[in-house]
Amino acid sequence: MGFSAEGPVKADEAWIAAPKARLFVRSWTPVMAAPGKAPIVLFHDSLGCTGLWRDFPAALAARTGRQVLAYDRWGFGRSDTRAGGLAPDFVADEARSFFPALRAHWGLGRFVAFGHSVGGGMAVHCAAAFAGDCVALVTESAQAMVEERTLQGIREAKAWFQDEQQVERLRKYHGDKARWVLDAWTETWLAPPFASWSLAPVLPAVRCPLLAIHGAQDEYGSVAQPQMIADLSAGPSQLAIMDDTFHVPHRERADAVLELMAGFLAPIE
């Protein structure tokens, strides 16, 4: 039976100096942490940040008995402002340019990578780049390629955010960076040069156990996305397709996601 702390969690925050920017980081540590268990690192989605994980990190730390770590990517949340657009290789660049600084700051050796949406692609790249230390990978609503369903969902979101009141909701988390955050998402993914982007070249370098979580009604990707991730990764893989679930399972069905995570990670140090 797997360890479950289900107890109080201590939260901390800090800023760290990465090669290109100062990044805001947070950690959640169970008071009764399971000894020897690798921490879980969270990679947020295209509009996300540490604040938008809400109470999920604390609940995940309590449920698994593991420390949970998260950060605001450059340009997001409380991290430094970023100018200009994102390069077509921005997903892979997260593993090259930023994750090593986070590992150094936390003194992080072995780790579990958990990525939501585009953060899932970043988690894949980190699992591949640091295959000797990544003990498990969880993708949630991750895109592995650019589908028409993905593009249509982004077009609809772009139109929705023409309403300034919707942008105001993002400013609560991103401040004056909110409009940049929106444009970085929509204009990067809708640009013709990004159409051929895929995780296919990097997935065979992922050797750790993998859990791919996906909502059956996800508006930004069909179930072909997690199937591709599971099929092309080199390690043992599990698919968890959640009925009546859209793009944010950890918010829509938090208890079910926590149960999946706890069960998957129970045998993993």
> Rounded to whole angstroms, how far apart are CA atoms 118 and 116?
6
> Rounded to whole angstroms, how far apart are CA atoms 146 and 257?
25
Residue at 4 is within a domain: no
Span 222-249, mean pLDDT? 98
Stated as kind and residue range, the H or E segment containing 91 is helix 90-93
DSSP characters over 146-193? --HHHHHHHHHHHHHTTSHHHHHHHHHHHGGGHHHHHHHHHHHHHSGG
> Rounded to whole angstroms, how far apart are CA atoms 146 and 178?
24
Q: Are 212 and 229 in contact (CB under 8 A)?
A: yes
Q: pLDDT by residue (tens digit) across 155-214?
A: 999 999 998 888 999 999 999 999 999 999 999 999 999 999 999 999 999 999 999 999
Residue 34: band (very low, low, confident or very high) from pLDDT cuts 50, 70, 90: confident
DSSP 84: S
Domain count, the chain: 1
Q: Is 255 exposed, middle or buried (0-12, 13-18, 19+ CB in 10 A)?
A: exposed
Residue at 57 is within a domain: yes
Q: Are 76 and 179 in contact (CB under 8 A)?
A: no
Q: pLDDT by residue (tens digit) across 58-87?
A: 999 999 999 999 999 999 999 999 999 999
Q: pLDDT by residue (tens digit) across 103-161?
A: 999 999 999 999 999 999 999 999 999 999 999 999 999 999 999 999 999 999 999 99
Residue at 2 is within a domain: no
Q: pLDDT by residue (tens digit) across 47-63?
A: 999 999 999 999 999 99
Residue at 3 is within a domain: no
Residue at 150 is within a domain: yes
Residue at 15 is within a domain: yes
Domain residue limits at 179: 9-265
Confidence check: pLDDT of 1 > 70 = no
pLDDT of residue 172: 95
For residue 174, give both structure tokens: 């991103």
Q: What is the CATH number of the domain that holds 178?
A: 3.40.50.1820
Q: Is the pTM of this model over 0.75?
A: yes
